[in-house]
Amino acid sequence: MAVRKLKPTTPGQRHKVIGTFEEITARVPEKSLVVGKSASGGRNNTGKMTVRNVGGGHKRKLRVIDFKRTKDGVPATVQSIEYDPNRSARIALLYYADGAKAYIISPTGLQVGQTVMSGADAAPEVGNALPLANVPIGTVVHNIELRPGQGAKMARSAGAYAQLTSREGIYAILKMPSGETRKVLLACKATVGSVGNSDHALERSGKAGRSRWLGRRPRTRAVVMNPVDHPMGGGEGRASGGHPRSRNGLYTKGLKTRAPKKHSSKYIIERRKK
C-alpha cells in the first residue's frame, strides 16, 4: 500500500494525499455478506438532534465481518481484497473448503489465492487465527479477543498490531498499539500479523468537502460561542476560553474518564503513554 500526492491544480488538490488502492482486486462486494445501513443524522427516535456535527455523507452498505473465526480446521482461500467504507483497513473475502464465504480484516502481506485457517492446530502464519496459548512469544498479532469466543475487539484499525511479550499462568502479556501492557486470557483468539493499509495514517483529505462525504458536518469552536451556548464562550476580543470544559461544564482535555473501580483495571500492567 502506498500513497500519492496530487499536483496542486486546484485548492482542494494542493494538500490532498490519498491511497493508491493498488491492492484492491474486486469492485463489487459479495452480495450474501452485505446488509443495509441506515443513517441517523444524529437524531433519536423522536427526531430530536442528540449528536451534533453528524449528518449527510455518502450512502454505505455494511460488510459483515467475521471477527470470531469459529470455522476451526477448515482451510479457506483468499478470493479477493476489497475496500470497506466503514473502516480504515481493507477486507479480504474468504472461500472456505465447505462452501461457506466470509469477510475478514486483511492483514499486511495477505495475497489473493493464499490459504488461511483458524483453530488451535493452525500454523502461526499471516492471516491464521489461533488461541494466544499457541502463538509463539514475540509474534505480532491483531484482531484480539478480550473474552474467549466474544470476537475480536482490539487492534482492528489500519496498521494496528499488538505484540505477545510473555505468558503468566493462564494469561498472555500483550503490548497494545497504545503502548499499554495488559493481560489477556490464553484461550482468547488472535490473528497473526498486523492490519494492512498502514499508510492510511499518511492520508490527508485536502478539503472540507471530503469530511462531508464521510458524514461529518462543520464544528463550531467553543471559544467563539456566546456564554449562553458554552462555558468557554464569551469575553471581549479573542478570549482564550479559560479551563477547557465540555458543553455541560465538565473539565476536559486531560481529565481521566476511566471508572476508578473498573473490573478490568486489574488486567492492565502498565498504562498507555500520555
Q: What is the pLDDT of residue 204?
A: 94
Distances (CA, A) of 261 to 126, 182, 246, 265: 38, 17, 24, 8
User: Which sign does the torsion angle of CA 188, 194, 199, 201 carry?
Assistant: positive
Q: What is the pLDDT of residue 37?
A: 94
Quick one: average pLDDT of 94-103?
Answer: 96
Q: Which three cell numbers stand for residue 162?
A: 499488538
Class of domain 221-268: few secondary structures
DSSP 213-250: HTTBPPPPPGGGS-TTT-TT---SSS---SS-B-TTS-
Task: Reply yes or no on whether the pLDDT at 259 is more than 80.
Answer: yes
Percent of the chain at pLDDT above 90?
A: 91
Q: How far apart are the C-alpha atoms of 165 and 149, rounded to whole Å?
A: 22
Task: Reply yes or no on whether the pLDDT at 1 is more than 70.
Answer: no
Quick one: average pLDDT of 35-51?
Answer: 95
Task: Reply yes or no on whether the pLDDT at 239 is more than 90.
Answer: no
**Length of the chain, in residues:** 274
Q: Which residues pair with 80 in a beta bridge?
A: 93
Identify residue 152 by its one-letter amino acid code. A
Q: Which one-letter DSSP state was computed for residue 11?
A: H
Tens of pLDDT, residue by residue over 172-220, are: 999 999 999 999 999 999 999 999 999 999 999 999 999 999 999 999 9
The CATH code of domain 3-201 reads: 2.40.50.140
Residue 86 near residue 107 (C-beta atoms within 8 A): no
Q: How far apart are the C-alpha atoms of 126 and 116, rounded to whole Å?
A: 8
User: Which position has the higher pLDDT, 138 or 1?
Assistant: 138
* Average pLDDT, rounded, for the chain: 94
Task: Reply yes or no on whether the pLDDT at 29 is more than 70.
Answer: yes
Domains of the chain, by residue range, sit at: 3-201, 221-268
Closest CA to 74 of 8, 121, 106: 121
Task: Reply yes or no on whether the pLDDT at 161 is more than 80.
Answer: yes
CA 221 to chain CA mean position, Å: 27
Q: What is the pLDDT of residue 256?
A: 85
Quick one: average pLDDT of 227-240?
Answer: 91
Quick one: average pLDDT of 213-236?
Answer: 94
Quick one: average pLDDT of 108-135?
Answer: 96
Q: What is the pLDDT of residue 210?
A: 94
Q: List, as own/partner pairs, every contact residues 95-103 make where C-beta atoms lie below 8 angstroms and the sequence separation is at least 24, other chains included.
A: 96/71, 98/71, 98/74, 100/71, 100/74, 101/30, 101/32, 101/33, 102/33, 102/66, 102/71, 102/76, 103/30, 103/33, 103/63, 103/64, 103/65, 103/66
Quick one: average pLDDT of 246-268?
Answer: 91
Query: How does residue 222 score in pLDDT terms, banded at 50, 70 and 90?
Result: very high
Task: Reply yes or no on whether the pLDDT at 57 is more than 90.
Answer: yes
Torsion angle in degrees (nearest 10) through CA of 204, 23, 57, 47: -120
